[in-house]
Amino acid sequence: MPSSLLCSLGFDSGEQLRCDAALAAGKLNRAFRAAFGRNLTINDSYRSYADQVAVAASRGALAAPPGTSNHGLGQALDLGGGISTFGTAEYRWMVANAGKYGWKHPGWAEPGGSKPEPWHWEYGTGA
């Protein structure tokens, strides 16, 4: 993805997403901060193709094949800070509120899904 299509997250300048997803993540973060008194914890966001290859090599079947990941399209976040565990207050808040900002938890990442990942959230996908 060309860097001209990526924007930094205002609350975590080390991370980038597609600009519309970054804007939506900022709104989501403001609501999360109002609820929990702290920013979202971002563990992963945009991944270049080379980064996708490295992740696939290290995580095997837990990672999407390089070139198919929503991380590579700049529209996926891997979150920590309580969201990374099913059933926590933070995770339940995300389930109840993320959709208001265009973020979804894909079915495959749900408990009982093919690859349960409470931390993985996607913007603007059919999830």
> So where are the chain's domains?
3-123
The pTM score is: 0.91
* Range of lowest pLDDT (64-73, 81-90, 99-108): 64-73
Burial class (CB in 10 A: 0-12, 13-18, 19+), 47: buried
Distance (Å, whole) CA 123 – CA 127: 9
* Fold classified for 3-123: Muramoyl-pentapeptide Carboxypeptidase; domain 2 (3.30.1380)
pLDDT of the residue at 55: 84
Inter-axis angle of helices 19-36 and 89-97, nearest 10:
130
Q: Under 8 Å CB-to-CB from 92, ≥6 apart: which residues? A: none
Is residue 122 within 8 Å of residue 75, measured between CB atoms? yes
pLDDT of the residue at 68: 85
* pLDDT tens digits along 62-81: 788 888 889 999 999 999 99
Tell me what the pLDDT averaged over the chain comes to.
93
- Comparison of pLDDT for 96 and 52, the residue scoring more: 96
What 8-state DSSP symbol labels residue 115? S
For residue 34 the two structure tokens come to 């109002």
For residue 95 the two structure tokens come to 């389930």
* pLDDT tens digits along 43-52: 999 998 888 8
* Range of lowest pLDDT (5-9, 26-30, 59-63): 59-63
